[in-house]
Amino acid sequence: MGSRAQQAEAVVLRSLRFGEADRILHLFTKELGRVGAIAKGARKTRSRFGARLEPFSHVEIQLHVGRGELATVTGVDLVRSHQALAADPYRLAVGSIGLEAVLKLFIDHDPSPRAFHALVRFLDLLDDGGQPDPSGPDPALDPLALSLQLKLLWLAGYLPHLSSCAACGREGPLTAFSARAGGAVCAACGEGALPASAAAFLGMRALLEQPLAGARPAGLGASARRETLAIVEAVYAEHGGFRLRTLARR
Ligand SMILES: [Zn+2]
C-alpha cells in the first residue's frame, strides 16, 4: 500500500502523551473505522492543532496514511468538542464507557458508518444534558450507556438472540442468558447461565429498537438495568475476550 492523504470525520477515543510534544491518538473514523495516529507537536503551546484533539472531540481530520501502523495528522477542524459532558463527572463516566466500548469492539481499518453515527449521537445527547438519569449515581447503569452498547454489539455482529431460546428454539419462558449459546435461554437449557428476568429481556429489546434519544424516557427499572449490564459484560467476555475498564471501576 502506498502512502496517501485521507480526509476523515472522526471522534477522538483516546489521546496519549508521546515523547516531548506529540500525542498518539486512537480515532474512530466514519471512513476508515478505528485508526491510530500521531499528532506531532500537538502539546506545544502554539500547536496548529490547538485543543482540538481531546477525547470526545468530533473533528474533520486530515491524515497521511503511510506504510507504518500510525497515520500522521496533518490538519484538524473541530465539529463539536463535547467538553460540556467532560466537565461533569457523571456524564464524563457515561461518555467514557461509550468511547471504550467502541475502542474494544471495532478493529483498525474496518469502517462501520452506522456505529460512527451512533457514537456521535450518543455524545451529542450527553453533551446536551438531556433528561436527568432517574436511576441514581451509577454511570454503568445509565440507560443511554446501555442502549449504545447494545447497538454497538449488534453492529459488531455480536447481537444476542433475545426473542426465543438460543439453545433449543422454544419461545419461552426465557429465564436466563447464555453468552455461549448466544442469547436468552429457557429453564431447560439454562444450567450454568446467567439468571435474567422477562423484564430485562423486554428492556434490552426496547433499548435495541428505539433511537438512543428514547433510552432514558423508556424508564427501564434498576434491576432490569443491572441484569442488562451483566449480560452486556458476559457478551464482551465470551465473544471479545475483554472487560471494559470503565465498567470494572465500580
Ligand atoms: Zn431452551
Given a cut of 60, whether residue 152 has pLDDT beyond it is: yes
Please, are residues 204 and 151 in contact by the beta-carbon 8 Å criterion?
Answer: no
Distance 237 CA to ligand 1 centre (A): 22
Q: Report the distance separating Cα 12 and Cα 188, nearest Å.
A: 46
SS (H, E, C) 88-126: CHHHHHHHHHHHHHHHHHCCECCCCHHHHHHHHHHHHHH
Q: Is the pTM of this model over 0.75?
A: yes
* Cα 14 to ligand 1 centre (Å): 42
Q: Range(s) for CATH 2.40.50.140 in the chain? A: 4-81
Written out in words, the top-level CATH class of the domain with range 89-248 is mainly alpha
Measured in Å, residue 178 CA sits from the centre of ligand 1 at: 10
pLDDT (tens digit, 9 = 90+) per residue, 165-224? 999 999 989 999 998 898 999 999 998 899 999 889 989 989 999 999 988 766 688 899
Q: What are the tens digits of pLDDT across the range 92-105?
A: 999 999 999 999 99
Find out if CATH 2.60.40.1180 is the number for domain 4-81: no
CA of 200 to the centre of ligand 1 (A): 18
* Sequence ranges of the chain with CATH classification 1.20.1440.120: 89-248
